[in-house]
Amino acid sequence: MARRTKFARSRSRLVLGPGVVLDWDVVRTALARSRVTTDPAEERRLLAEALRLAPGGVLAERPTGHYSWLARVRLERSARDLLVDAAHRLAILCWNGDDPDAAREAAWSGLRVAATEELLWRDLLRATAATGGA
């Protein structure tokens, strides 16, 4: 009996089958759902899930010289922007929920994706100060 594979070769490229789910699709779905929910706790959960699935950004760890097409499609930049917005929004929700420790974690999650993002550094400093940290 032949086994169905999750991918196939087509002209020396891998083609994913229709049943394959990518983490990035799950991240985008969680972010989209977070924008339409009216429950702050559910929004927090969805944002945290998205940030957990993309801890270092999209294709942050890849072999040198591979995936050069990413620069042309601007995937890295748009993914970075989405994740920074998610981390900032999560920090605000945590702050409003009186949970500065969670706000600090949200800011760190975003900074792992975009280490120089000033907005997230402000979130981190504000949360750290609220918890009595240096």
Average pLDDT of the segment spanning 118-133: 92
76 φ, ψ (degrees, to nearest 5)? -60, -45
Please state, for a pLDDT cut of 70, what percent of the chain lies above it: 84
Look at residue 68 and tell me whether its pLDDT is greater than 80: no
pTM: 0.80
Contacts of 75 (CB under 8 A, 6+ apart): 58, 59
pLDDT tens digits, one per residue of 87-115 = 999 999 999 888 999 999 999 999 999 99
For the segment 9-43, what is each residue's pLDDT rounded down to a tens digit? 455 667 778 887 778 889 999 999 999 999 999 99
Structure tokens at 87: 């981390």
